[in-house]
Copies of this chain bind each other. A is one copy, B any other.
Amino acid sequence: MTTSTSPLRVLVWGENRHEQLEPKIAEIYPTGMHNTIREGIEEHSERQVSVTTATLDDPEHGLTEEVLRNTDVLVWWGHAAHAEVEDAVVERVHRHVLAGMGLVVLHSGHWSKIFQKLMGTSCTLRWRSEEDREIVWTVDPTHPIAKGIPHPFIIPQQEMYGEFFDIPAPDEIVFLSTFSGGEVFRSGCTFRRGFGKIFFFSPGDQDYPVYYHDDVRKVIANGVAWAETVRPERTDPVLLRYETEDFYNGQGYRGALAR
Chain A contacts to B: CB under 8 angstroms: 4, 18, 21-22, 46, 79-81, 98, 100, 108, 111, 117-122, 124-128, 130, 132-133, 135, 137-144, 146-148, 150-152, 154, 160, 162-166, 168-169, 171-173, 176-178, 180-184, 186, 191-197, 229-232, 236-245, 247-248, 250, 255-257
Q: Which of B22, B121, B242, B255 is A194 in contact with, Cβ under 8 Å?
A: B121
Residues of chain B within 8 A of A108, CB atoms compared: 256
Q: Which of B128, B141, B147 is A164 in contact with, Cβ under 8 Å?
A: B141
A237–B176 CB distance below 8 A: no
B119–A98 CB distance below 8 A: no
Given contacts A98-B122, A120-B193, A128-B243, whether A80 and B178 have CB atoms under 8 Å apart is no
A182–B240 CB distance below 8 A: no
Residues of chain B within 8 A of A236, CB atoms compared: 122
B182–A135 CB distance below 8 A: yes
Closest B residue by C-beta to A147: B230
A180 to B229, CA, bound (A): 32
Given contacts A194-B166, A231-B141, whether A182 and B239 have CB atoms under 8 Å apart is no
B164–A151 CB distance below 8 A: yes
Residues of chain B within 8 A of A165, CB atoms compared: 139
Residues of chain B within 8 A of A137, CB atoms compared: 162-164, 183-184
A120 to B160, CA, bound (A): 27
Residues of chain B within 8 A of A147, CB atoms compared: 230-231
B122–A230 CB distance below 8 A: no
Residues of chain B within 8 A of A143, CB atoms compared: 230
A181–B244 CB distance below 8 A: yes
A192–B169 CB distance below 8 A: yes
B139–A164 CB distance below 8 A: yes
Q: Which of B80, B139, B163, B194 is A138 in contact with, Cβ under 8 Å?
A: B163
Residues of chain B within 8 A of A168, CB atoms compared: 168, 171, 191-193
Given contacts A126-B240, A128-B242, A231-B141, whether A176 and B193 have CB atoms under 8 Å apart is no
Given A121-B194, A128-B244, A141-B195, 14 more contacts at CB 8 Å? A79-B256, A81-B256, A120-B120, A121-B237, A122-B237, A127-B241, A127-B242, A130-B244, A137-B184, A138-B163, A142-B195, A162-B242, A169-B171, A178-B183
Closest B residue by C-beta to A125: B239
A173 to B216, CA, bound (A): 25
A138–B164 CB distance below 8 A: yes
